[in-house]
Amino acid sequence: MSLNLDDRQRAMLEAMGVTVWWPQRDATPAPDQAPVDAIEFKANKPISASESGNLEQIKSAPTPTPTQLTPVAPISTAMVDSALASQTWPVLEASVRQCQACGLCKTRKNTVFGVGQAPATPDAPPQVDWMIVGEAPGENEDLQGEPFVGQAGKLLDNMLRAIGLARRERVYIANVLKCRPPGNRNPAPEEIAQCAPYLLRQIELLQPKIILAMGRFAINTLLAPSVPGVDAIPVGKLRGQVHRFGSIPVIVSYHPAYLLRNLPEKGKAWADLGLAHEVMTSP
């Protein structure tokens, strides 16, 4: 994989705590540094190949073999709640805003539908290539009505900018839940069951070219149709592969909030983003 990062993008990676090391063709490697022919990433300390699912592994298998993918039918209205199947983008957004399907409506301040590039026409969905799916709004998101606006959001924005993306350019960001669970607790199964159809309809309307699923609940929701027993598989074992949701490639990674609590894992998240970028740019 090769990402052509300019000085500004490298600075953003530094702000994330991910140092980008560039190979020196004529230099002799230091004793503790093996030669590399691509970017090597560090987060507080060197990340070994076994820890990071390193770039050599990603480069050598950018496209999964048929045995790595479970064929899944393209997204259709059969995967979306029948009450939502005919809703246009603005009607769907209004449905979320007025939703009282579970108890979260009693404690929310705002619903959090999502954010992305402006649509071409008022009734059309945003025009995007990438979709980022998180888990649920937190306190800041509940207050502002927009996903990923706290510290985790700043980290996500830095990650996206490092590969030339922004939350309102070619990207749409949404959560599985559209309302904040009180105290930022984990989403309950019944809450996911009520809210996931909104996300499925968003995906159906957006038809993104790739989805980045960040965090356990986003991963479970999107991969349940294609990965049997996904809820019992550690996230680390799901990384480094190209999964599918319908016909759309899905790359899984850690949630930015988790990365803020586990700084050494940032390098792994950057490798996941690099894999997604490679899938997007592969012919």
First vs last Cα of the chain: how many Å apart? 13
What sign results for the dihedral spanned by CA atoms 115, 261, 62, 69?
Answer: negative
Cα separations in angstroms, 93 against 88, 99, 171, 178: 9, 10, 17, 10
* Confidence (pLDDT) at 48: 37
pLDDT of residue 209 exceeding 80? yes
Percent of all residues in the chain with a pLDDT value above 90, rounded to a whole number: 66
Q: At what angle do helices 151-161 and 266-281 cross, to 10 degrees?
A: 40
Tokens encoding 73? 């039918």
- Quote the pLDDT of residue 58: 32
Between 49 and 215, the higher pLDDT residue: 215
- Reported as a single tens digit per residue, the pLDDT across 80-118 is 567 898 899 999 999 999 999 999 999 999 999 999 998
The DSSP string of 50-110 is HHHT-HHHHHH-SS--GGG----PPP-GGGS-TTTTT--HHHHHHHHHH--SSGGGGT-SS
Phi, psi values for residue 225, rounded to 5°: -70, -20
Tell me the mean pLDDT in the region 161-186: 95
Q: Evaluate if pTM is beyond 0.85.
A: no
pLDDT one-digit tens code per residue, 59-80: 333 333 333 333 333 443 344 5
Domains, the chain: 68-281 (3.40.470.10)
H helix and E strand count, the chain: 11, 9
> What pLDDT score does 35 carry?
30
- Give the model's pLDDT for residue 7: 60
7-41: per-residue pLDDT in tens? 655 554 454 455 443 333 333 333 333 332 222 33
- Residue 28 is predicted with a pLDDT of 36
How far is it, in rounded angstroms, from Cα 173 to Cα 255?
A: 13
Output the DSSP codes for 184-241: GPPPPHHHHHHHHHHHHHHHHHH--SEEEEESHHHHHHHHTTTSTTGGGS-HHHHTTS
Q: What is the pLDDT at residue 283? A: 77
Closest CA to 159 of 174, 142, 171: 171
CA-based torsion, 228, 59, 131, 105: positive or negative = positive
pLDDT for the residue 282? 87
Mean pLDDT of the chain: 79
Average pLDDT over residues 129-144: 97
pLDDT in tens, 222-248: 999 999 999 999 999 999 999 999 999
Beta bridge partners of 130: 171, 210
Phi–psi pair at 175, nearest 5 degrees: -120, 160
pLDDT surpasses 90 at 3: no
